[in-house]
Amino acid sequence: MELVQQAPLQCFNTLALPAQASYFYRVASLSDLIEAVAWASDHDLPLMILGGGSNVVLADDWPGLTIQIALRGRRIVSDNTEQVLVEAAAGENWHELVQWTLAEGLCGLENLTLIPGTVGAAPIQNIGAYGVELADRLVSVRGWSLDDQCERELSAAACRLAYRDSIFKHELRDRFVITVVTLGLSRSDRPVIHYPALRDALAKRGVPPETATAVAVEAAVRAVRQSKLPDPTVLANAGSFFKNPIVSRAQFERLQNDSPTIPGYPAGDQVKLAAAWLVDQAGWKGKRRGGVGVHTLQALVLVHFGGADGRTLLALAAAIQRDVWARFGVQLELEPRVYPQAVEMHATSAPTSGSEALPPDAIIDR
């Protein structure tokens, strides 16, 4: 097992935050993974599982083993008129998988094009965009259970996928390493086109939504994303930094009384708010603080211009949380996972209603 010691992780996270892992290991097979997990356990070291690093905030050095998932392989496992099952290893690049399925004449992933990161991370937060989420396509995941040291398969239902959420953020947090994901796709071209921004994009490209193909939807989504979102290889970021808050109807009505233009979308019997709108209204869009800031086109995306660290970024996030709380009484929750977790607990405000958020200057506590 070739471990790298004191490994710099700046190239392994799309926010380009400087941090080191005490040990780093690139896992290319199940046996590599089993060996690495056992080694960390023998040495009593915490594990950090990393895919593409596009949904993490590295706030400090990692005092344990970082495992980069590099398991590769994808194939069609069954093909019939109802459903085509596609299996992909956790280390496959998500966007490349989307492109490959379309090239194979398979529909279902087109709305999820250009989402950075790996296949294995997709179930963790139930990735979603433009009206489709992984939950709509996931059949099962296979992985290594750290509790009982064996391979297990979980059905999509057992993954408990919800809005940017899954069992892997709760009961199975740090307990299960996903190695293979199975998706149910289709050869009939019936793309999902109800998302308003997607319909507009299709219309702008002269494609009547009713006749849009999966390939046309992919192209439209890709074009909108490229026009709005910073490419992390050009301007470091982790996509949306905050989740869209879900509030009760009663709270939404109160918010509407004060802010009649506030956007809200049905979410079961609750209402989903647009976090970007709240951040923008709180005056943060386009603001810069040292080496970090809020993107000029998309207020939900915090960016790293260079030279800053994870704690500075979390201080900015905490200041935004405080202002949104003060203005709307709504608690913004971080979407990316912060490592080490202890820094997150100190640096950002806890989502408890009725309490004041932490002042941004009092948040860094080594």
Q: What's the burial of 157, exposed, middle or buried (CB within 10 Å: 0-12/13-18/19+)?
A: exposed
Residue 196 sits in the site that holds ligand NAP (CB under 6 A):
yes
One-letter amino acid of 180? V
* DSSP per position, 137-206: TEEEEEEEETTTTEEEEEETGGGT-BTTB-GGGTTTTTTEEEEEEEEEEBSS------SHHHHHHHHHTT
Residue with structure tokens 């997709």? 122
Return the number of the residue (241 or 325) whose C-beta is nearest ligand FAD. 241
Q: Which of 22, 87, 92, 164 is catalytic?
A: 164
Return the number of the residue (127 or 315) whose C-beta is nearest ligand FAD. 127
* Whether the Cβ atoms of residue 245 and residue 330 lie closer than 8 Å to each other: yes
Q: Which residues neighbour 259 within 8 Å (Cβ) at sequence distance 6 or greater? A: 281, 328
Kindly list the distances between the CA atom of residue 128 and the CA atoms of 111, 142, 144, 295, in Å, as whole numbers in the listed order. 8, 21, 25, 20
For ligand NAP, which residue of 3, 274, 358, 364 counts as binding (CB under 6 A)? 274
Q: Which among ligand NAP, ligand FAD, none contacts residue 265 (Cβ within 5 to 8 A by kind)?
A: ligand NAP
Distance CA 120, CA 293 (A): 29
Structure tokens at 160: 């408990």
Using the contact rule CB under 6 A, the part of the chain among 48-56, 214-222, 314-322, 347-355 near ligand FAD is: 48-56
Beta bridge partners of 264: 273
- Site residues for ligand FAD, window 6-35 (CB under 6 A)? 14
Return the number of the residue (104 or 333) whose C-beta is nearest ligand NAP. 333
Residue 237 sits in the site that holds ligand NAP (CB under 6 A):
no
Residue 129 sits in the site that holds ligand NAP (CB under 6 A):
yes
Residue 53 sits in the site that holds ligand NAP (CB under 6 A):
no
Q: Is position 164 annotated as part of the catalytic site?
A: yes
Beta sheet of 236-240, edge-to-edge order: 236-240, 301-304, 292-294, 288-289
Residue 52 sits in the site that holds ligand FAD (CB under 6 A):
yes
Residue 67 sits in the site that holds ligand FAD (CB under 6 A):
no
Structure tokens at 292: 């970090």
Q: What number of CA atoms fall less than 13 Å from residue 203's CA on the CB side? A: 8
- Site residues for ligand FAD, window 147-186 (CB under 6 A)? 177-178
For ligand FAD, which residue of 90, 185, 314, 347 counts as binding (CB under 6 A)? 90
Return the number of the residue (243 or 322) whose C-beta is nearest ligand FAD. 243
- Site residues for ligand NAP, window 301-360 (CB under 6 A)? 335
Q: Which residues bind ligand NAP (CB under 6 A)?
A: 128-130, 195-197, 228-229, 239-240, 244, 265, 274, 276, 298, 300, 335
Q: Which residues bind ligand FAD (CB under 6 A)?
A: 14, 49-56, 69, 90, 115-118, 120-122, 124-125, 127-129, 177-178, 229, 232, 237-239, 337
